[in-house]
Amino acid sequence: MSSSITTADPMPILELLNAFRKSQVLFTSVELGLFDHLASGPKSLTELATILAAKPDSLERLLGACVLLGLVQHTPEGGFANTLTASAYLTSNSPNRFTGYINYSNAILWQMWDHLPNAIREGTHRWKETFGSDGPIFSHFFRTEEAKREFLFGMHGFGLVSSPHVVEAVDLTRFQTLADLGGATGHLAIAACRRYPHLKGIVSDLPEVVGLTREVVDGTNVANRIQIVPGDFFNDPLPEADLYTLGRILHDWSEDKILKLLKRIYDALPSRGALLIAEKVLNEDKAGPEWAVLQSLNMLICTEGKERTFKEYETLLKQVGFREVEYKPTPSPLDVVLAVK
């Protein structure tokens, strides 16, 4: 056996073997409501075991893992408390919570990723294989308002992390009206209006979503500058604006549908108007960054889309008429591509 093989570092493989265990610690702790029960204050192992109807020995192991992962901390009295990270993102009453997306990842994505080999072989999503249906996500998996609300608030949590970075990445001073298509809870328009006091915002999304959009927007200090417009960006007239934004939208779709949407936006824009795309952009070798690489596999499993490189976005944008296209990376889960008409 060659010395190069015997001295190879096994740690990357061992860390990968542990990765799914770490995910399940997070998923299970959220599902059990552990962080919600600690939100009211520290508790002992005995108290938590009683509240969660769990065996103390097994719960102690889970709590140990949560401490290891930085989600729970020991108290001087020997109990357990949430860390700041858990309080901000893992409690159901936090406006920044990821819990809806975490539960979705556990209940739905976890099962779909089990069929990754077939997704690779066939190049198609796994809804039918996993759940027996190709139907729209909202009608089949978020049949209750509460389920839909929690998923959208999970995505809102991601938006609160990313959107301030997105609107800081490029100078939007010259634009007067921003229309965020498929804008969900309005986090991108809110961040833009907060950064640019002159800017007016429009959030457009499906009729079943905009009720939550209004609720979130009305709770901000820029609500008087943001209009909510129900609509389907593939079929309905687009609201008038000199800047359109698409956040985590294009990665859902095939190139044919992307080109259709881009052409609609290009035709609706005035001269020197622009489109801002917020997606995590792949390196040109498609081996990084980590978030984009793994999300691209997730798009294969869940959608007809994928993550793309800047050159791939540039090619699509120029195909419909855009000529000036620039790329700005950010330290958040989303980067920026800006295209000017």
CB 264 within 8 A of CB 238: yes
As given in the structure block, the two tokens for residue 273 are: 């108007």
Strand locations in 108-176 (E)? none
What is the average pLDDT score of the chain?
Answer: 94
Q: Is residue 77 within 8 Å of 133, Cβ to Cβ?
A: no
Give 246's strand partners. Answer: 277
- Nearest of 260, 263, 251 to residue 313 by alpha carbon: 251
Q: How confident is the model at residue 3 (pLDDT cuts 50, 70, 90)?
A: low
The 8-class DSSP code of residue 34 comes to H
- What is the per-residue pLDDT across 69-78, written as a single tens digit (0 to 9) for each? 999 999 999 9
Q: Please report which confidence band the pLDDT of residue 142 belongs to, taking 50, 70 and 90 as the band edges.
A: low
pLDDT at 55 over 70: yes
Q: Work out the pLDDT band at 137, boundaries 50, 70, 90.
A: low
Nearest Cα to Cα of residue 124 among 332, 306, 336, 300: 300
Measure the CA–CA gap between 293 and 239, rounded to whole angstroms: 33
| The two three-digit tokens of residue 302, written as one number | 């869940």
pLDDT in tens, 287-341: 999 999 999 999 999 999 999 999 999 999 999 999 999 999 999 999 999 999 9
| Whole-angstrom distance, CA of residue 241 vs CA of residue 201 | 9
Report pLDDT for 257. 97
For the CA atoms of the chain, what is the radius of gyration? 22
Distance between CA atoms of residues 181 and 102, nearest Å: 24
- Domain 163-283+303-340: give its CATH architecture: 3-Layer(aba) Sandwich (3.40)
Structure-token pair, residue 236: 């309905």
Just list the catalytic residues: 251
In sequence order, the 6+-apart residues with CB closer than 8 A to the CB of 86 are: 35, 38, 66, 71, 72
Percent of the chain with pLDDT over 90: 87
Domain residue limits, the chain: 3-89, 163-283+303-340
The CATH-assigned architecture of domain 3-89 is Orthogonal Bundle (1.10)
CA distance 138 to 212: 14
